Structure 1
Amino acid sequence: MVKRLLVAVGVLAVLGVAAVAGGYAYWQNRLAAPIALDEPALYQVPAGAGFNQIVRELESQGFINDAWAFRLLARVEPERVPRPRVGEYQFTPGMSGLDVMALLGSNNVVTYPLTIPEGWTFRQMRELLNSAPKLENRTADMTDEAIMSLLDREGTFPEGWFFPDTYRYHLGMSDVDILRQALSRMERILEEVWDARDDDLTIDTPYEALIMASLIERETGAPEERREIAGVFKRRMQQGMRLQTDPTIIYGMGERYEGRITRADIREATPYNTYVIDGMPPTPIAMPGRASLEAAVNPLPGETLYFVSRGDGTHHFSRTLREHNNAVNRYIRNR
């Protein structure tokens, strides 16, 4: 009798072990099973979401069928459970449930590009930030002054201080994040460029280099011309001539500019109109790229004092006023 009892107990024990082993294998199989997906899909982790909430959402959205397996994972092996990060994640066919969990605990969120073109103004940059999809907008109702204070640059005029480039953002980021990145990059690059400047410049500070670079940026999009335009501006300042660059008229007009400059506009006294004021305007007029910054502090030597647009994105450079007037007749008045 005792022997039979021991045999029965042994059998039950073996069956129990087998059941546990089978149950464990089935559980692991459910965790490693491919998610229900035929094509790539986005999943968004909202702010404040916990692991159990995410598991419920994954099941309700049809990505997984065995939410219990992941809830059990959180109890049995909590070290394998990710700390969800806010953002969007891309699921792809063939991923397992464990792959999904690893992805949700990573930094591999879906990102979006935001390109700030060289030569744009701060106002244009703000409009772009305001319209960027899935980017939280915290500054739409703020003044420029308030934005600079938020960025710890109280009292700084914003124009020119944000480096034009392509930035990437993800869900959960705000326009303030982009502004901080662009400001930090401009300050760093301006410092690098200023350290490599020529010795005999007509500008004395990095901020003046930023102003000069903005004029160069707005005058030409032809890379090979930037240093020559910088040279023209340098020689004009050395000889006490006015810079007479049209983009400063346009900037001084602000939103009144409608695509053309009149004689009255040229004569209008604004703080920016370099046909009226001596030297450079008081602030940058746009956001310059690195090439224009480098040109501003490394002007091309030469004798040219004038330039006029050919109408194809390039300029004709002249040494004398007579040569310049002939070029104006050829490229402007005849056109």
Structure 2
Amino acid sequence: MLKRLLRISALLMLLALVAAGAAWYWLQSALEENGPAREPVELEVKQGSSLRAVAGTLADAGVIEHDWLMYYWGRYKSYDRGIKAGEYRFEPGMVLEDVFALLRSGSNVQYLFTIVEGWRTSEMLAALALHDRIEHTLSAQSAVELAQELDFPEANAEGLFLPETYSYRRGETDRSLLVRANQALRLVLDQRWENRAPDLPLKTPYEALILASLIEKETGVVEERERIAGVFTTRLKKGMRLQTDPTVIYGIGETYDGNITRKHLQTMSPYNTYLIRGLPPTPIALPGAAAISAATQPDETGELFFVARGDGSHKFSKTYAEHNKAVKEFQLQRRDDYRSAPAPRVEN
């Protein structure tokens, strides 16, 4: 009888071991099993979502095969404590451990916001407002208000963001994104200023930024930037007024209708470089890294004037007579082209 009981016990133990082995083998296979999805799946995990809810959503989307397995395995491994809210992109072929690793790493779906060279701060803010995945916390409507909200040392935020494409995740604040853009601008400006050409008629990096903004608005032709910078630099050294239309346009503000009139040129403003000497008080746009480089490394050839040809490029001149001739050739038919430089007077 005892032997029989021992044989039965041994058989039961063997069966239990076989069953345990089979269960373990199935578990390992299931953990390595791919979900049925054959295309990438993007899903949002909201703040406070339970592991059971997340598992159900992923199973419904085909990311995993068994929601109950994800739930119990996550509890067993304590993965449920590390799942973070956010948007995730699940690739085909991901196994359960991959899914948990992604959910614990934070959102991996990113979006892009491009700050365009030559934009004003108001244009940048308007474009940023259209991105509904960003958390909008700023109320500023102007460059002055934005400088205050972002605690900038400058009183005006115009020009203080580097034109570039920035990635962000859902829920990032507008403040955070703009601070990154500002830090990028300051890094580029400091580097360029450190390696600036000798004898520049500029006292500070901020003045270089102002000059860069003028260069940015005057030409979109990459090869001309250093040359434009050279014209402005030479005029500054000679004490000549810059007499550049984009500064006047900036000073006109929202009432500018596309045409610069004689009255505009004769109306005093801190940005009317036909009347003031030197640079305007702030940048007039967002200059890119290339324009900043040009402002700090100008190509000084003795040229004092330039006029738009009408194809985006400019005709440069060293003398007033040469410039007048160029104006007659290119400018008279394009008086409404704000990117040109009307014939200035040579200042003593």
Same fold (TM over 0.5): yes
Counterpart contact for 1:237–1:243, Cα < 8 Å: yes
1:120–1:286 Cα contact (<8 Å) kept: yes
Q: TM-score, normalised by structure 2?
A: 0.89
2:236 is the counterpart of 1:248: no
* TM-score normalised by L of structure 1: 0.92
Alignment deviations for residues 234-281 of structure 1 (CA, whole Å, 9 cap, x no partner): 221222211011110111111112222222222222221111211110
Deviation of the 1:97 alpha carbon? 3.0
Unaligned runs of 5+ in 2: 335-348
- CA contact 1:86–1:171 (8 Å) conserved in 2: no
Whole-Å separation in 2 of the counterparts to 1:190 and 1:155: 15
Match of 2:17 in 1: 17
Structure-2 residue corresponding to 1:47: 47
**Aligned runs of 1:3-152 on 2, under 5 Å?**
3-78=3-78, 83-106=82-105, 109-140=108-139, 144-152=143-151
How far off is 1:34 after superposition? 1.6
Greater mean alpha carbon deviation, residues 291-300 or residues 188-197: 291-300
Report the identity percentage.
Answer: 42
> Secondary structure at 2:105's aligned position in 1?
coil
- 1:291 matches 2:279: no
CA change 1:301–1:62 in 2 (3 A) is closer
User: 168-177 or 94-103: which moved more?
Assistant: 94-103
Shift of 1:145: 4.5
How many Å apart are 1:65 and its aligned residue? Answer: 4.2
**Which has the higher mean CA deviation after the structures are superposed, 293-302 or 95-104?**
95-104
Q: Secondary structure at the match of 1:169?
A: strand
Q: What residue number does 1:191 align with?
A: 190
Q: Is the 8 A contact 1:85 1:104 kept in 2?
A: yes
- The letter for the 2-side match of 1:216 is I
Distance 1:26 1:52, change over 3 A: same
Return the letter of the residue paired with 1:210. Answer: L
- SS of residue matched to 1:105: helix
3-state SS of 1:118 partner: coil
Q: 2 CA distance for matches of 1:86 and 1:75?
A: 18
Q: Which amino acid aligns with 1:295?
A: A
Query: What is the rounded CA distance, in whole Å, between the counterparts of 2:3 and 2:223 in structure 1?
Result: 99
Partner residue, 2:234: 235
Q: Give the superposition deviation at 1:302.
A: 1.7
Q: Distance in 2 between matches of 1:244 and 1:144?
A: 24
**Residues of 2 paired with 1:200 and 1:211: CA distance?**
17
Conserved in 1, the CA contact under 8 Å of 2:159 and 2:284? yes
Query: In the alignment, what sits opposite 1:302?
Result: 301
- Residue 98 of structure 1: how far off its partner (Å): 3.0
Distance 2:158 2:66 in 1: 55
Q: How does 1:266-281 map to 2 (within 5 A)?
A: 266-281=265-280
Q: Deviations over 1:100-121 (max 9, x none)?
A: 2222233571212221111111
CA RMSD of aligned residues (A): 2.1
Distance apart, 1:83 and its partner CA: 2.4
1:224 has 2:257 as partner: no
Query: Which AA in structure 1 matches 2:217?
Result: R
Give me the whole-angstrom Cα distance separating, in 1, the residues matched to 2:166 and 2:110: 10
Matched residues in 1 for 2:2 and 2:289: separation? 91
Shift of 1:305: 0.8
Gapped regions of structure 1 (runs ≥ 5): none
Distance 2:252 2:116 in 1: 21
Give the drift of 1:142. 6.2
Distance 1:48 1:184 in 2: 33
